[in-house]
């Protein structure tokens, strides 16, 4: 609707004094956001209420019952035995070498999980979260992104980081909170971040990243408007189905739609939020059904099918950037094979047999392996060699990271604001004085790079 200027002088008492930087004093102009909606036409069979412009009138009273609707279908390309079932599409759209690399990345996540889980049990670092069963969602979706795209993660997307080039050394540095940690030792283990790879540091409060991701996507859109030389970019935002119950999820999808943000929301629906099964999390048709309510293009995909995840993500990215941009919602279905974290024993709330059936029958690593073996690009020898070499590499980085000094104690005080405040400087000085006065109480300071000296001005 074209905007129409409405000239309406304000009452004299409201007229502003001369000098205030207003476009025109005393006059209010209508703008795009004020354009009047169409009036209800006599005899029309459709609604023109401003709140729902395309609804048709009906004389039949009917409450729409979600239980009577068909559940949204789950898209897949490859079945659980590695057979292609969507023959209308080239399942690969990537070279054999690339696919083998995806497989190795998923294996790396899986093997690292085993080693890190055990290390936490040995008390070598404080916490760990495994992503078993969900490696395909992370790697498949990441393979559809460009290096310039921006990622906001929850905490079970290690595969995204690895695929984008985050190294095992960087991961181990974060887990051990050593001096090479990007986060300078401030975050719990698995809260990775990388400026180089455009992955924002993970934070623990659930769903907070979702509206942030919408805002970041709006920024990317604006920056391209300002400078057409900037390549088209999207934001990929990941969260679990439990986090989707937070108010921030609602906030984000709504504003992403109304502001037409180039973002793909990826929901990992693995059936559990710690001990809470999905049946206690929502009553509707999963998370995907909500996307339509916000006016967001939505698809549900088999999260154990890396080809389907990738194809969906490629298409979602393309659509997000079309025209004036728009958000897309992808719900990737999977099963959390692991405990929630090293602080959780999931057999307290679900049957062990259920987990083992998922492990054995269908998981993203097994499925891709079957496909590769059918295609003849993988075999038992390659599998053994890959597992051995990955394990060796993980253990090497593990051992190296464990020996590295912790960050300087100074890092405890820096980056709260851009600059140190006088108050913080006084606190650093006081901490230094206390450590000097009671050296035996703080003897561990020698493990921190620079020791006590790092607290000097």
Q: Give the separation between CA 290 and CA 298, rounded to whole angstroms.
A: 9
- Stated as kind and residue range, the H or E segment containing 269 is strand 263-269
Pick the stretch among 18-26, 60-68, 97-105, 439-447 that binds other proteins (CB under 8 A).
18-26
Task: Tell which phi-psi region holds residue 26, choosing left (phi > 0), alpha (psi between -120 and 50) or beta.
Answer: left
354 Cβ contact partners less than 8 Å away, ≥ 6 residues apart: none
What are the start-end ranges of the H helices in 342-421? 352-361, 364-375, 380-403
226-245: which residues touch other proteins (CB under 8 A)?
226, 235
Q: Give the separation between CA 443 and CA 453, rounded to whole angstroms.
A: 14
Applying CB under 8 A, which of residues 2, 4, 24, 56 lies at the interface with other proteins?
A: 24
Question: Quick one: 254 or 366, whose CB is closer to other proteins?
Answer: 254
Question: Quick one: 197 or 339, whose CB is closer to other proteins?
Answer: 197
Minimum distance between the CB of residue 253 and other proteins, rounded to whole angstroms? 9
Question: Quick one: 388 or 416, whose CB is closer to other proteins?
Answer: 416
48 is catalytic: no
Q: Is 36 in the site for other proteins (CB under 8 A)?
A: no
Token match 């493990």: residue?
A: 447
Pick the stretch among 81-89, 254-262, 333-341, 441-449 that binds other proteins (CB under 8 A).
254-262
Tally the residues of the chain. Answer: 457
Minimum distance between the CB of residue 284 and other proteins, rounded to whole angstroms? 20
Token match 């979706």: residue?
A: 141
Pick the stretch among 26-34, 136-144, 266-274, 378-386 that binds other proteins (CB under 8 A).
26-34
Residue 222: how many other CB atoms lie within 10 Å: 10
Applying CB under 8 A, which of residues 74, 101, 182, 278 lies at the interface with other proteins?
A: 182
Q: 35, 46, 69, 118: which one is catalytic?
A: 118
194 is catalytic: no
| Nearest CA among 336, 381, 341, 406 for reference residue 173 | 406
Q: Give the separation between CA 208 and CA 251, rounded to whole angstroms.
A: 10
346 is catalytic: no
Tokens found for residue 58: 């009906």
Q: Is 33 in the site for other proteins (CB under 8 A)?
A: yes
Sign of the Cα torsion 73, 75, 76, 80 reads negative
Q: Is 328 in the site for other proteins (CB under 8 A)?
A: no
287 Cβ contact partners less than 8 Å away, ≥ 6 residues apart: 241, 244, 267, 269, 329, 331
Mask of contacts with other proteins, 399-428, x by CB under 8 A? ------------x---xxxx--xxx-----
Q: Is 181 in the site for other proteins (CB under 8 A)?
A: yes
Burial of 264 (0-12, 13-18, 19+ CB in 10 A): buried
Catalogue the E-assigned strands of 109-198: 150-152
Question: Quick one: 258 or 389, whose CB is closer to other proteins?
Answer: 258
Q: Is 171 in the site for other proteins (CB under 8 A)?
A: no
Q: Is 22 in the site for other proteins (CB under 8 A)?
A: yes
Q: Is 167 in the site for other proteins (CB under 8 A)?
A: no
Alpha-carbon Rg for the chain in angstroms: 27
Question: Quick one: 112 or 235, whose CB is closer to other proteins?
Answer: 235
Q: Give the separation between CA 110 and CA 108, rounded to whole angstroms.
A: 5
Minimum distance between the CB of residue 154 and other proteins, rounded to whole angstroms? 14
Binding residues for other proteins, per CB under 8 A?
A: 13-14, 16-24, 28-29, 31-34, 150, 152, 181-184, 186-187, 191, 193-196, 200-201, 203, 205, 208, 210-220, 222-223, 225-226, 235, 247-248, 250-252, 254-255, 258-259, 411, 415-418, 421-423
Catalytically active residues, by annotation: 118, 204, 340-341
């Amino acid at each position: 609707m074209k905007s129409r200027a409405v000239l309406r002088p304000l009452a004299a008492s409201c007229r502003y004094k001369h000098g205030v930087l207003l476009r025109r004093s005393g006059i209010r102009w209508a703008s795009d956001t004020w354009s009047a909606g169409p009036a209800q036409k006599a005899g029309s069979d459709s609604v023109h209420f401003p709140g729902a412009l395309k609804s048709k009138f009906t004389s039949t009273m009917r409450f729409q019952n979600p239980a009577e609707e068909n559940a949204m279908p789950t898209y897949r390309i490859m079945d659980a035995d590695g057979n292609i079932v969507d023959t209308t599409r080239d399942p690969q759209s990537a070279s054999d070498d690339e696919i083998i690399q995806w497989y190795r990345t998923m294996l790396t996540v899986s093997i690292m999980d085993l080693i890190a889980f055990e290390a936490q049990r040995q008390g070598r670092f404080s916490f760990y979260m495994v992503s078993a069963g969900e490696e395909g969602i992370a790697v498949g979706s990441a393979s559809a992104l460009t290096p310039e795209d921006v990622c906001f993660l929850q905490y079970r997307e290690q595969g995204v980081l690895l695929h984008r080039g985050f190294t095992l050394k960087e991961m181990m540095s974060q887990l051990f909170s050593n001096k090479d940690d990007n986060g300078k030792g401030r975050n719990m283990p698995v809260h990775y971040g990388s400026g180089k790879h455009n992955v924002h540091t993970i934070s623990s409060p659930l769903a907070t990243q979702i509206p942030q991701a919408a805002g970041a996507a709006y920024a990317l859109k604006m920056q391209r408007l300002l400078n057409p030389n900037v390549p088209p970019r999207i934001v990929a935002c990941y969260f679990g189905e439990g986090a989707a119950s937070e108010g921030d999820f609602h906030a984000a999808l709504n504003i992403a739609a109304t502001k037409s943000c180039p973002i793909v929301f990826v929901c990992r629906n693995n059936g559990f939020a710690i001990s809470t099964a999905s049946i206690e999390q929502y009553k509707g048709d999963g998370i995907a059904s909500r996307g339509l309510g916000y006016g967001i293009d939505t698809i549900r995909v088999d999260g154990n099918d890396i080809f389907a995840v990738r194809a969906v993500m490629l298409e979602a990215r393309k659509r997000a950037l079309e025209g004036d941009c728009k958000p897309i919602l992808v719900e990737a279905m999977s099963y959390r094979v692991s405990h929630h974290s090293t602080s959780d024993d999931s057999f307290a709330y679900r049957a062990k047999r259920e987990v083992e059936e998922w492990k054995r029958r269908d998981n993203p690593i097994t499925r891709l392996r079957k496909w590769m073996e059918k295609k003849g690009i993988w075999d038992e020898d390659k599998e053994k060699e890959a597992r051995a070499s990955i394990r060796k590499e993980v253990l090497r980085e593990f051992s190296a990271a464990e020996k590295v000094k912790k960050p300087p104690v100074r890092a405890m005080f820096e980056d709260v604001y851009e600059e140190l405040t006088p108050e913080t400087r006084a606190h650093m000085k006081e901490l230094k004085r206390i450590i000097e006065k009671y050296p035996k109480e703080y003897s561990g300071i020698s493990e921190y790079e620079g020791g006590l000296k790092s607290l000097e001005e």
